[in-house]
Structure 1
Amino acid sequence: MEGPGDPGAPAARWKRHIVRQLRQRDRTQKALFLELVPAYNRLLEKAELLARFSEKLQPEPDDVTPAVHQGPWEKESDQGLSPAALRVKWQEEAEGLRLVCGEMAYQVVEKRATLGTLESQLEERQSRLAALKARVEQLEEARAKEAGQVHARRALNEEQRAAYEALRARVGHQEAALRKLEEEARDLLERLVQRKARAAAERNLRIERRERAKQARVSQELKKAAKRTVSISESPDTLGDGVREEAETLVLAAKPGSLESEAGEKWKRPFRSASATFLTVSRCVDVVKGLLDFKKRRGHSIGGAPEQRYQSIPVCVTARLPTQAQDVLDAHLSEVSAVRFGPNSSLLATGGADRLILLWNVVGGRLKANQTLEGAGGSITSVDFDPSGSQLLAATYNKAAQLWKVGEAESKETLSGHTDKVTAAKFKLTRHQAVTGSRDRTVKEWDLCRAYCSRTINVLSYCNDVVCWDHVIISGHNDQKIRFWDSRGPRCTQVIPVQGRVTSLSLSHDQLHLLSCSRDDTLKVIDLRVSNIRQVFRADGFKCGSDWTKAVFSPDRSYVLAGSWDGALYIWDVDTGKLESSLRGPHSAAVNAVAWCYSGNHVVSVDQARKVVLWH
């Protein structure tokens, strides 16, 4: 017997396989003929027997003895019969055998037909079996191929899973590092805020000490002045006109009944009357203090340390109504949304969705490019000059306001802290303070010296524009309300409802009237002295083109100006409330903003089609 390592083992195996297949074929084919072959053998035996009977039954003429016809196969009962009877009997048996043979032949034919049918069925089944075997082989090949692909996919998945796990571990490390850096940044910010707060407290303490020292000096001077004898000559050249008028007014008010008797002597004699001395000296000191405070507001401190002086703003007595376009420019790369004149009326700033602020000089009725301010992080929504005209503040869509110094192309400071688009940014009366409004429902006050948010005001609606003066901040909102805030108090001091979402606010130069523009396609003038709406302006065809459409007062507060969705400019008379004029022509798209220079000679309008138009 061959072992597993014998070289003849494979040959023995396929020989056994052939034998098994032959036996299987014999079993399957033999079963089809098991009944037919024995039946056919029986039929042959009967046919042979019948042939023998027929030979025995044939008569022989020469042999008439009965012994010839006897044989071992004949029965004893037939021995006594006559030949004729035997012939008849065997003819009957032969006829029966012929019938049996016919039946057997018919059965053979039927069996052959059945055999043919079975053979055809066998061939058909064998062909089907071959087709199925071929199909099985194809499926086996496909299964092997799919198994290979599955194996490759599993290997690839394992590689990707390993890469994912490594990436997740790396992300986890980076997140931990980021959290650590954020904590360090918060700690640094807290320390910075605390340091700035301490510095501010120390600065406030020093200022308070100086104020106390100044008040003490003024008090001592007042005490000395109250004890001093005052002599006034007839031609006091040393006193100013204002002091002399104050003194004369107080003396007249103090002694109205004795004017005629003392008219010739009041400038000659010295006096020590307590009431007269108190009135005259106190009023003189008040006037001097007023002059000192005025000098301080103009840029000088009490100690005389010089500070930067603001340029004087031209005073407009009568504004000129624009009648025609003098210059039309495609200034920006996309929509222009903000425009503002500088305090000297010759410098103009425009800002748009291209994140650029362009400075222009108004020379000879034309706009000449001066400078491009870059570095804005988003679309410009508002621009404003400080009172000196040396700095420019812009609100942007990148959740911040940015500060530039005129003459420098890069941004000087970024005021970040809002969580949504900043829609307005305005300077207060000093160059070191500013106010911003945003769509995050907050209004913020900023200390520009430290780039620090000194106060955050939470509001219930989007803020679209702000204006401010002294300690008052006015904000216009999406909920159709104008709110007033005091910088020294925590709460809203007043709310004035208007019809329509507020798109812009403009404060008159005398700070007594407020102009609002809203989406109900009206402009309203509010008298701030009585806090009510004084005038409402409408016109056929006028319609606000967007939520940031800007309207302005003329410098003399005689007119209001706004741009419409169809590119026209509308001017109303404040006193009569009537439409003064409407200007059409250069603009083919909605006008976003307008500006009226402080001298009253020029108007500039900007639109959504990149145009900047100078009107005269």
Structure 2
Amino acid sequence: MSRSSHPRGGAAGAAAAAMAEPGGWKGHVVRQLRLRDRRQRAGFVDLLEAYNKLLEKSNLLVQAQAMDLRTGLSPWSPWEPPSPVLDPTVVLQTTKIKYQRQIAELKDLSGVLAYHIIELNTILKAKETELEVQRTRLASLQGQVSELEGQHQQLRGQMKGLGRGNSAVKLEYDALRDCYRCRECELRREVERSQELTESLVRKKAKAAEYKNYQNERFKRAKHDELFRQLKKVTNETISIDIGPEVVKPAKGKGPSQDFTKLEDCEKPGKRPFSYRLKRGNSVSSRLESSYCYVPACVVACLPSFISDIQEAHLSEVNAVKFCPSSTMLATGGTDKLIKLWNVVGGRLESVRTLEGANGSITSIEFDPMGCQILAASYNKAVQLWKIEDCKSRETLTGHTDKVTAAKFRSTRYQAVTGSRDRTVKEWDLGKGACCRTIDVCSYCNDVVCWENIIVSGHHDKKIRFWDSRGPRCTEVIPVEGKVTSLHISQDQMHLLSCSRDNTLKVIDLKMNNVRQVFSADGFKCGSDWTKAIFSPDKSYILAGSSDGTLYVWSMENGKLVTSLPGLHGASVNAVAWSSSGQHVVSVDQGKKVVLWK
């Protein structure tokens, strides 16, 4: 069968060939369609050619038969030899029978061929239907291709735009990198200059301290010599002391003996006169060496039961609270970078003064043993020392590289210990304003306590570490189940209290260095990484604040919860303080409030 016998297939092939390009997926689709056309057409070509030939032969035979009947001649067959002349009727009958037989055979063959043609038409229709489906699919795919080409062009445009943007960003990045390098060089020079200035300042402070110590020593010597001369005069006199209401009078002289009597007014009077002579080598403290203030002794601590006063003390969260040793003054510190001093008068809090100058949020407050100075740690990587009388910052201790979380005085007011989130604990000489030792730890330090030569630090890695000031290494490590948030040592220095994020408080026996008691309660939850818990002054109770604003008090004797105080705190309690007299308790929270309990 030629291309003319299949006009639709030929037209489709021509259209596909015209639409296809030399390469790509379109060419592949056209080649596949052509191959399928050839395969389907090859099975029908031979059959149709044979059918056409048979039809032509049948037409020729019919035409020859008709011609023979008109002329009266017998048909001649090229494959049969010429026969002798016979009777025309017989010949005609014979030819008729022959042709009838051939016509019957051709009819049978025609029926078979017609059946084949029907089958082939059915197949052709199915193929045409499939071809229409393929054409529809091809049209859909062409639409998708067009859409994808549009998207491709759009993406190419976006890519070009992004490329231009990236080029601009790269140029800007190169400029910023060059600027960063310049700034880094400037920073390095400034750091070196800062180090030089710091070293120069330290040297100047050391010289000033030496000069001040020299002047103090001269003043002390002069004062000592003057006092010694006065005492030398007094020792040559006899003082009569009689038991009775009358005032003690010196035997001779007035001024020196009166001064000496004042020096001896704490002694109990004897029953008979005596002579007092100061031996050489003894000395009396000068005015420069201030004595400790009076600290009220707490025989029995009073359990807090009701709210005596409540104040909105700071502009934001209150982190620290501390009573002075005499229990008459209270200090609070918050994230507003202020330290406020309060007097407790008649069950009320009266604001006294405000210490300003901190450059960061206050995290810890500590009074010195005399109650004259305040040591405060802050988020600006520094610790500041204030003098309460003039509200001035006397010293700023710098050296930590991250937030300072705790600052405590040592056994004297001239030494301090600090802990920081830079994983160090530092010892400071407050007279020189310089760090005398740095202890490197592998975890954040949240709180420190110290006594004599021992320093204890609580850490983020759920461990409590003991350090000896006379040794370089850690002497003891006590693990707990949660991050340590606070430490507090009892007044007799026999027990240590720790608060941790596992919502428990633990009492550690400092003789055995092991956990003696564990305190917990339903509803108690440690609210932050700096929540503080304390002993009562007589070590009968343990006090801590919860995240829901409730205060919990436990008994040291039996380890049971004594009471819970759901005060007016609307936020998590950060810290608590118990006065040395045992009469007042103060709690501070994250909602700016300071609550006085009685």
Range class of TM-score, shorter chain: 0.5 to 0.7
For residues 463 and 420 of structure 2, the distance between their equivalents in structure 1, rounded to whole angstroms, comes to 16
Aligned partner of residue 86 in structure 2, secondary structure: coil
- 2:55 corresponds to which residue? 40
Does the alignment pair 1:385 with 2:377? no
Q: Which residue of 2 aligns with 1:51?
A: 66
- 2: distance between equivalents of 1:140 and 1:581? 78
Shift of 1:44: 1.4
Kindly state the Cα deviation for residue 187 of structure 1 after the two structures are TM-superposed: 0.8
User: Could you tell me whether the CA contact under 8 Å between 2:364 and 2:406 is conserved in 1?
Assistant: yes
Q: Counterpart of 1:341?
A: 323
Pairwise CA distance, 1:47:
0.7
* Counterpart residue type for residue 294 of structure 1: S
Cα deviation for residue 169 of structure 1 reads 0.9
SS of the residue aligned with 2:417?
Answer: strand
Aligned partner (choices 296, 315, 335) of residue 316 of structure 1: 296
Aligned equivalents of 1:406, 1:382: Cα separation in 2:
16
Query: Equivalent residue for 1:297?
Result: 289
Q: Give me the identity figure in percent.
A: 27
Secondary structure of 2:426 counterpart: strand
- Take 1:71 and 1:568, find their aligned partners in 2: how far apart are those partners? 135
Instruction: Give 3-state SS (helix, strand or coil) of 1:345's partner.
Output: coil
Structure 1 residue ranges without an equivalent (≥5) = 1-16, 58-68, 246-262, 268-278, 299-309
Aligned to 2:192: 187
Q: 1:45 to 1:591 in 2, by over 3 A?
A: closer
Match 1:199 to one of 201, 204, 212: 204
For 1:389 and 1:329, the matched residues in 2 are separated by: 24
**Residues 53 and 506 of structure 1: CA distance in aligned 2, closer, same or farther (over 3 Å):** same
The reply on whether 1:286 has 2:268 as its aligned counterpart is no
Aligned CA distance change for structure 1 residues 433 and 318 (closer, same or farther; 3 Å): closer
Task: State the Cα distance separating 1:571 from its structure 2 match.
Answer: 6.5
Could you tell me how far apart the structure 2 residues matched to 1:427 and 1:417 are?
17
**How many angstroms does 1:107 deviate by?**
6.0
Corresponding residue for residue 332 of structure 2? 350
C-alpha contact 2:337 2:361 (8 A) present in aligned 1 = yes
* Residue 475 (structure 1) aligned with residue 419 (structure 2): no
Aligned pair partner of 1:568 in 548, 552, 567: 552
Contact 1:444/1:457, CA 8 A, preserved across alignment: yes
Tell me what 2:95 maps to. 90
SS at match of 2:408: strand
1:563–1:542 CA distance, 2 compared to 1 (3 A): farther
The 8 Å contact of residues 314 and 599 in structure 1, kept in 2 or not, is answered as no
Partner residue in 2 for 1:423: 405
Where 1:474 maps in the other structure, the secondary structure is strand
Displacement of 1:382 in angstroms is 2.2
2:139 equivalent among 107, 131, 134:
134
| C-alpha distance in structure 1 between counterparts of 2:91 and 2:475, whole Å | 152
- Paired AA for residue 423 in structure 1: T
Unmatched 5+ stretches in structure 2: 1-13, 19-33, 239-250, 265-271
Q: 1:120 aligns with which of 106, 125, 140?
A: 125
Give the aligned residue type for 1:297. E
Q: Which is further off, 80-89 or 185-194?
A: 80-89
Other-structure match for 2:487: 504
Confirm or deny that 1:551 pairs with 2:534.
yes
Q: Which of 566, 582, 585 in structure 2 is aligned with 1:603?
A: 585
Counterpart-to-counterpart distance in 2, 1:207 and 1:375? 25
Distance 1:146 1:380 in 2: 59
Cα drift, residue 472 of structure 1 = 4.5
Match of 2:150 among 145, 152, 156: 145
Residue pair 2:463, 2:478 contacting (<8 A) in 1 also: yes
1:159 Cα deviation (Å)?
Answer: 2.0
Query: Which residue among 171, 183, 204 is the counterpart of 1:178?
Result: 183
> 1:325 corresponds to which residue?
306
390 and 177 in structure 1: CA distance in 2 versus 1, 3 angstrom threshold = farther
Distance 1:31 1:460 in 2: 92
The whole-number CA distance in structure 1 between the counterparts of 2:120 and 2:522 is 105
1:561-609: per-residue Cα shift (whole Å, max 9, x none)?
A: 421467233576xxxx789995544448987644343555433344678
**Contact 1:504/1:549 (<8 A) preserved:** yes
Amino acid at match of 2:201: K
For the pair 1:156 / 2:156, whether they are aligned, the reply is no
Alpha-carbon distance between aligned partners in 1 of 2:95 and 2:507, rounded to the nearest angstrom: 143
Could you say if the C-alpha distance between residues 131 and 146 of structure 1 is closer, same or farther in structure 2, counting changes exceeding 3 Å?
same
- Residue 381 of structure 2 contacts residue 403 of structure 2 at CA under 8 Å; is this kept in 1? yes
For residues 602 and 440 of structure 1, do their structure 2 counterparts lie closer, same or farther at Cα, with a shift above 3 Å needed? Answer: same
1:387 is displaced (CA, Å) by 5.7
Query: What is the CA–CA distance in structure 2 between the aligned matches of 1:376 and 1:229, rounded to whole Å?
Result: 52
Contact 1:351 1:382 in 2 (8 A): yes
**In the alignment, structure 1 residue 362 sits paired with structure 2 residue 344:** yes
Shift of 1:191: 0.7
Per the alignment, do residues 559 and 442 of structure 1 end up closer, same or farther by CA in structure 2, a change over 3 Å counting?
same
AA in 1 matched with 2:281? D
Q: Does 1:232 align with 2:236?
A: yes
Q: Which has the larger radius of gyration?
A: 1
Partner AA of 1:394 in structure 2: A
Deviates more, 1:376-385 or 1:143-152: 376-385
1:487-545 CA-partner distances (Å, limit 9, x unpaired): xx56479769799979423464xxx745521357454686xxxx789x97888969996
2:241 corresponding residue in structure 1: none
- The 1-side partners of 2:566 and 2:352 are apart by 23
Rounded to whole Å, the distance in 2 between the matches of 1:90 and 1:420 is 126
Query: Is the 1:47–1:101 contact (alpha carbons within 8 Å) kept by the matching residues of 2?
Result: no
| Structure 2: distance between partners of 1:72 and 1:498 | 127
Letter in 1 for 2:151: E
CA, structure 1 residues 446+103, in 2 after alignment: closer, same or farther (shift >3 Å)?
same
CA separation in 1, counterparts of 2:76 and 2:534? 149
In structure 2, the residue matched to 1:445 is: 427
Between stretches 513-522 and 46-55, larger displacement belongs to 513-522
User: Corresponding residue for 1:436?
Assistant: 418
CA 1:125–1:55: 2 relative to 1, 3 Å: farther
1:550 counterpart letter in structure 2:
A
CA contact (8 A) 2:458 2:464 kept: yes
Letter in 1 for 2:293: I
2:296 is aligned with what amino acid? C
TM-score, normalising length: structure 1 = 0.64
Give the Cα separation in 2 of the matches to 1:347 and 1:222.
Answer: 35
Q: Does the 8 Å CA contact 1:563/1:593 hold for their aligned counterparts?
A: no
1:297 alignment partner, SS class: coil
Question: In the alignment, residue 568 of structure 1 is paired with which amino acid?
Answer: Y
CA contact 2:319–2:588 (8 Å) conserved in 1: yes
Q: Deviations over 1:445-468 (max 9, x none)?
A: 345688653432335776554455
Deviation at 1:177, TM superposition (A): 2.4
Structure 2 CA distance for aligned equivalents of residues 78 and 460 of structure 1: 129
Q: What is the one-letter code of the residue matched to 1:43?
A: S
**Conservation of the 8 A alpha-carbon contact between 1:423 and 1:439:** yes
Distance verdict in 2 for CA 1:449–1:156, change over 3 Å = farther
CA deviation vs aligned residue, 1:246-278 (integer Å, no higher than 9, x gap): xxxxxxxxxxxxxxxxx99x99xxxxxxxxxxx
**Is 1:403–1:412's contact at 8 Å kept on the other side of the alignment?**
yes
1:121-169 deviation line (CA, Å, top 9, x unaligned): 5743653464255235314412421331231132133123213322431
1:455 corresponds to? 437
SS at match of 1:348: strand
Q: Tell me by how many angstroms 1:615 deviates.
A: 3.5
Asked if the contact 1:381/1:395 (under 8 Å) is kept, the reply is yes
* Residue deviations 1:415-453 (CA, integer Å, cap 9, x gap): 453355533212457766542123544322345688653
